[in-house]
């Protein structure tokens, strides 16, 4: 994962729920040098907290991405015929960060 253009990472989660899997794994993808360059804020929610796990990424160009995950046991019931949206995975987030890094790098190259 290219973290060169990442300026901030804010996350909050209850580490004992399945909803916290993606934010926890994303933190493990960061190198030790990235923690020096990126403003990382981690908030640990109390056990069985009703709040969803959240992740917010900030980039050098001012763009920010926000994600949230609910635990499966806390998701609202669906009406008949409705389908659940596919949850955001770690691969989706890493791909989005890399795509944004390539676009930003390309803009810098064109600007000179």
Residue 78 within a domain: no
Residue 98 inside a domain? The answer is yes
What does the CA dihedral 89, 4, 24, 66 come to, rounded to 10 degrees? -60
Per-residue model confidence (pLDDT) at position 40: 96
Q: Specify if 80 maps to a domain.
A: no
User: Tokens for 18?
Assistant: 């399945």
Q: What is the pLDDT of residue 101?
A: 94
Say if CB 6 and CB 97 are below 8 A apart: yes
Number of domains in the chain: 1
The residue range of the domain holding 53 is 6-71+85-111
Has residue 11 been placed in a domain? Answer: yes
Return the pLDDT at 24: 95
Neighbours of 70 (CB within 10 A): 15
Residue 1 lies in a domain: no
Please report, for the domain that includes residue 24, its CATH number.
3.40.30.10
Position 74 scores a pLDDT of: 67
List the chain pLDDT tens, one digit each, 112 residues.
889 999 999 999 999 998 999 999 999 999 999 999 999 999 999 998 889 999 999 999 999 999 999 877 666 677 777 776 788 899 999 999 999 999 999 999 999 7
Q: Specify the pLDDT at position 25.
A: 95
Task: Judge whether 76 lies within some domain.
Answer: no
74: its two tokens: 């806390």
Specify if 79 maps to a domain. Answer: no
């Amino acid at each position: 994962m290219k973290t060169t253009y990442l300026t901030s990472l804010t996350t909050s989660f209850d580490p004992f729920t399945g909803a916290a899997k993606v934010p926890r794994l994303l933190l493990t993808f960061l190198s030790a040098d990235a923690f020096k360059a990126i403003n990382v804020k981690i908030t640990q929610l109390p056990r069985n907290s009703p709040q969803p796990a959240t992740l917010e990424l900030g980039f050098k160009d001012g763009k920010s991405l926000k994600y949230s995950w609910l635990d499966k046991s806390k998701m609202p019931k669906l009406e008949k015929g409705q389908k659940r949206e596919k949850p955001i995975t770690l691969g989706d987030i890493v791909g989005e960060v890399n795509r944004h890094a390539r676009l930003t790098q390309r803009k810098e190259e064109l600007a000179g």
